[in-house]
Amino acid sequence: MTTAASTENTDQPAPGKNAARPPRVSALRRSWDKYWYAWAMVTPVAIVLAVLVLYPLGYGFYQSLTDANESNVSATIGAFHRPATYKFVGLDNYWHVLSGADSDFYPRLLWTVIWTVVGVSLMVGLGMGLAVLLNRKMRLRGLYRALLILPWAVPSFISVFAWRLMLNSQYGVFNEIITAFGLPAQDWLGTPLAQKVAVIMVNVWVGIPFNMVAILGGLQSIPKELYEASEMDGASPWQRFVNVTLPGLRPVTNTIILLGCIWTFNMFNIIYLLLGNNTSGDADILVTFAFRKAFTGVSDYAGAATYGIIILALLLAFSTFYRRNTLKSEQA
Amino acid sequence: MTAATHENSSAAAAAPTAARRSDTAAPRKVRGREHRSLGSSIALHGTLIVATVIAAFPVLWILFISLGPKNAWQDPGQVLKNLSFHNYSDVLSHSDLPKWFLNTVIVAGGTTALGVFLAATAGYAVSRMRFPGSRQLMWTFLVTQMFPSIVLIVPLYLLMSELNLLDNYLGLILAYATTAVPFCAWMMKGYFDTIPKEIDEAGRVDGLTPFGTFWRLIVPLARPGLAVTAFYSFLTAWGEVAYATQFMQSDHYTLAVGIRTFAQDQRPDWAWTSATAIIITIPAALVFLLVQRSLVAGLTAGGTKS
């Protein structure tokens, strides 16, 4: 069979890249025969990533080293073409941001971290709670499940509009509900602290279903025998949860925590659409702040690019660190 | 056992009661997982009912408001007295909503086609073959998830303006591919991993070329996974705001941008906004509920097996 496959392969034109690479281990021989078409199959995706992701990323990085803004980039207005006049300024933008000279970065970073940590903990925690509850035989289980997934089925910008309507300080139903429970009414979309609570709340509401359903899937993949064995040993439900469920869920929770942190750190829709343009900016995270830098007033392309690269660097450092640690704990 | 739990049922507020109770009953046989007392049943269903109400309420509320008169959002009491689909017929006949809808369908359709094609080929290659660069490619997919759209949006904006792709369907489709493709490839890899490799081998024995194996054997088997990928790409395009806001002019607005012209910061028109929101939600939510089971399987498989 192997020979049949390999003779067939030699009929096909093999890309030079593969032919040039010496086989490392003879056990890899069979997959070696398949390299050429593996490469052929990833070529489209590689082109798209290169043109639409890597090139703009490199371009963005270059821009962060310049003083480009709306008034000095090249532009075509009607028949008139204006050449670019921005100049290279080296690491000035980074120094300006990281030294704290622009006085926006550190407050925005602090709030972004709080927003991410609080949001992801609540999403994963509540998602896990609901998943554990749903993971048993009971009446109406399908109905509960369908309704609990509803926030995920709604496009997020629609959810945000629903919440904006509900959180309206004057006519919103949300204040009426919480005052009925004895809590004080707030100007949810007006004052800085209330805005922050509101955006976290909406983000958690939007994010729970994904976490819940992913954990539910993880729960169902834990072998029943483990529970039976621990029951035989006289473990209490809480002990079973800590010693069987949590370790069994680790592959899923590791993934969703990492994804949740990245998504939340970069969450644009909720803050931008919930608060609109007439906010003081206190609830802006790094991403929405950078967006406003790029597209309001005189667009500060270099400044926005600098923020973008810093955000990316922060997330890369975090993910590398996180994956290294989770790999270690999985192997242990 | 039931007697012991009844005493606690008044204190039963949430799930952990089940755990606490068994502490008091420690010497006796531990409660089995499949048995449930009345008290914990009430706690379980109570918690789930509260959670479902919180989950469903905002959606039902916007539906409720959309069925009322023009100023119903200021006075929700009026809605029940004046139930009508007036806002819907209004927004469909007196606004650009149909045009935005068509624009969104075109862009989302294009994103879907491109996303599925790219994700399927790349996902299959990464799933089946350990080739030089496969690890790096998977890593790139993950890293791309970390790109805040802002890193790309300015350079992409300038790039597209040079290529005359601003205010153009293709430009927006390509922009969405940057988010949809890596994630979809990640999901497809997880799905292909669940298809036994023996099928590929059987195909090769029967004399199929590698592409023949992929196209004739694996693609049909992977149809559920492809459907999920398709839907994910579609949803990405359906609900994206930042690129659409900056790249498109009023003739090519998508729904996500168009609805903002009703829900302006200063004077939102909630009658039209709520009706539009429901019109946008219903098709998306229906398809979502059809595929959500496999969507989750795909998501977690991709994540846990990498």
Is A222 at the interface with chain B, CB within 8 A? Answer: no
Per cent of chain B over pLDDT 70 is 82
SS3 A155: coil
| More confident: A216 or B82 | A216
Mean pLDDT confidence for B11-22: 42
Please choose, from the candidates B251, B232, B9, the residue with its C-alpha nearest in 3D space to the C-alpha of residue B123: B232
Inform me whether the pLDDT recorded for B6 exceeds 80.
Answer: no
Q: What is the pLDDT of residues A287-319, one digit of tens each?
A: 999 888 888 878 888 999 899 899 989 988 998
Instruction: Give the minimum alpha-carbon distance from B88 to chain A in angstroms, rounded to a whole number.
Output: 16
pLDDT band at A119 (very low <50, low <70, confident <90, very high): very high
Identify the weakest region by mean pLDDT among A81-85, A149-153, B90-94: A81-85
Q: What is the pLDDT of residues A30-80, one digit of tens each?
A: 555 657 777 788 888 888 888 888 888 898 899 899 998 888 877 767 677
Do residues A222 and A249 lie in contact, with contact meaning Cβ atoms separated by under 8 Å? yes
Contacts of B303 in chain A (CB under 8 A): 214, 251-252, 255-256, 259
Interacting residues of A122 by C-beta distance below 8 A, sequence separation 6+: A200, A204
Q: What would the two tokens of residue B89 be?
A: 């017929």
pLDDT at A330: 62
Do residues A227 and A244 lie in contact, with contact meaning Cβ atoms separated by under 8 Å? yes
Inform me whether the pLDDT recorded for A269 exceeds 70.
Answer: yes
pLDDT at B297: 65
Q: Which of B58, B148, B266 minimises the CB distance to A287?
A: B148
Q: Which of B45, B155, B209 minimises the CB distance to A8?
A: B209
Q: What is the pLDDT of residues B88-101, one digit of tens each?
A: 998 899 888 999 99
Inform me whether the pLDDT recorded for B306 exceeds 60.
Answer: no
A65 DSSP assignment: T
pLDDT at A130: 95
Radius of gyration of chain A (CA): 26
Instruction: Please give the residue of chain B at the shortest CA–CA distance from A6.
Output: B204
Inform me whether the pLDDT recorded for B7 exceeds 70.
Answer: no
Q: Which long-range contacts (C-beta less than 8 Å, at least 24 apart) are formed by B155-162? A: B155/A55, B155/A56, B155/A57, B155/A59, B155/A60, B155/A63, B155/A305, B156/A52, B156/A56, B156/B243, B157/B246, B157/B247, B158/A59, B158/A73, B158/A301, B159/A55, B159/A56, B159/A59, B160/B247
pLDDT at B20: 43
pLDDT at A31: 55
pLDDT band at A189 (very low <50, low <70, confident <90, very high): confident
Q: What would the two tokens of residue A303 be?
A: 């400044």
Instruction: Give the minimum alpha-carbon distance from A261 to chain B in angstroms, rounded to a whole number.
Output: 9
Instruction: Please give the residue of chain A at the shortest CA–CA distance from B73.
Output: A171
Instruction: Please give the residue of chain B at the shortest CA–CA distance from A285.
Output: B148
pLDDT at A297: 79
Inform me whether the pLDDT recorded for A196 exceeds 90.
Answer: yes
Q: Which of B18, B146, B277 minimises the CB distance to A315?
A: B146
Radius of gyration of chain B (CA): 26
Instruction: Give the minimum alpha-carbon distance from A267 to chain B in angstroms, rounded to a whole number.
Output: 8
Q: What is the mean pLDDT of chain B?
A: 80
Is A268 at the interface with chain B, CB within 8 A? Answer: yes
Inform me whether the pLDDT recorded for B277 exceeds 80.
Answer: yes
The answer to whether B121 contacts A35, with C-beta atoms less than 8 Å apart, is: no
Q: What is the pLDDT of residues A210-261, one digit of tens each?
A: 899 889 888 988 888 888 898 888 888 889 899 899 998 988 898 889 889 9
Mean pLDDT confidence for B194-205: 87
What is the ipTM, given to two decimal places? 0.80
Q: Which of A37-51, B56-70, B224-238 holds the top average pLDDT?
A: B56-70
Inform me whether the pLDDT recorded for A205 exceeds 90.
Answer: yes
Q: Which of A9, A18, A53, A242 to mutate to test the interface with B (most CBs of B within 10 A)?
A: A53
Phi-psi region of A274 (alpha: psi -120 to 50; beta: other; left: phi over 0): alpha
Alpha carbon distance A309, A288 (integer Å): 14
Q: What is the mean pLDDT of chain A?
A: 83
pLDDT at B298: 62
The answer to whether A252 contacts B303, with C-beta atoms less than 8 Å apart, is: yes
pLDDT band at A200 (very low <50, low <70, confident <90, very high): very high
Q: Which of B15, B209, B214 minimises the CB distance to A132?
A: B15
pLDDT at B1: 38
pLDDT at B289: 77
What torsion do the CA atoms of A42, A44, A47, A50 make, to the nearest 10 degrees? Answer: -60
Do residues B76 and B68 lie in contact, with contact meaning Cβ atoms separated by under 8 Å? yes
Mean pLDDT confidence for B179-208: 86
Mean pLDDT confidence for B220-247: 87
Is A183 at the interface with chain B, CB within 8 A? Answer: no
The answer to whether A151 contacts B59, with C-beta atoms less than 8 Å apart, is: yes
Residue A140 C-alpha from the chain's centroid = 33
pLDDT band at A4 (very low <50, low <70, confident <90, very high): very low
pLDDT at B146: 64
pLDDT at A163: 93
Instruction: Give the minimum alpha-carbon distance from A230 to chain B in angstroms, rounded to a whole number.
Output: 10
Q: With b meaning 16 or more CB within 10 Å and e meaning fewer, what string describes A103-112?
A: ebbeebbebb
CA atoms within 13 A on the CB side of B28: 10
pLDDT band at A138 (very low <50, low <70, confident <90, very high): confident
pLDDT at B228: 83
pLDDT at B299: 61
